[in-house]
Amino acid sequence: MISIALYKPDIPQNTASVLRLCACFGLKMHIIEPCGFNLNDSRFKRVIMDYINQSSIIRYENFDELLIKNKKSRIILMSTKATKSLFKFKFKNSDIILLGRESKGVPEYIHRDIKNRLKIPISPKTRSLNVAIAASISTAEALRQIRKF
């Protein structure tokens, strides 16, 4: 099943929103450490509410560990720097949708190493979507394609 990975998340409310998204659709969430806050943070708990008990979080010390432990999955990087539209990509059941850190995205080496880099087409007058919104849009499209909607 599709899953979502967050690279070193630093805003608790966004991470909680993505985890809640995962809980609602039965998806796993991968967190690549270090996480910029404690999961006991009150801002995180306020958004996640009781969905924490319906969620599955897998934590990794670094990006390489995510790759090693998920060799059969494709990593799909959502990035404002990508050239290919999310809507022109064919998702598979085992894909992991990777979203970068709110403050810095992902390092350049990850951009270079990941074959599948996608963007969500937005107005050229704007810079980017919120991470939780980008996760929602990309997950909805992936689930639609694999016929989960």
Q: Where are the alpha helices (DSSP H) in 26-90?
A: 42-48, 63-69
Res 45: pLDDT: 66
Cα 113–chain centre separation: 17
CATH number at residue 72: 3.40.1280.10
Q: Residues 66, 71, 72, 74: is their CA dihedral positive or negative?
A: positive
The 10s digit of each residue's pLDDT in 109-119 is 999 999 999 99
Q: What is the pLDDT along the chain (149 residues), one digit of tens a residue?
A: 899 999 999 888 898 899 999 999 999 999 999 987 667 767 666 666 677 777 788 999 999 999 999 999 999 999 999 999 999 999 999 999 999 998 889 999 999 999 999 999 999 999 999 999 999 999 999 999 998 76
Query: Alpha-carbon distance 9 to 149, whole Å?
Result: 28
Q: Domain count of the chain?
A: 1
Residue 19 contacts residue 26 (beta carbons within 8 Å): no
The 10s digit of each residue's pLDDT in 23-49 is 999 999 999 999 876 677 676 666 666
Domain hosting residue 140, numbered range: 3-145
Res 49: pLDDT: 65
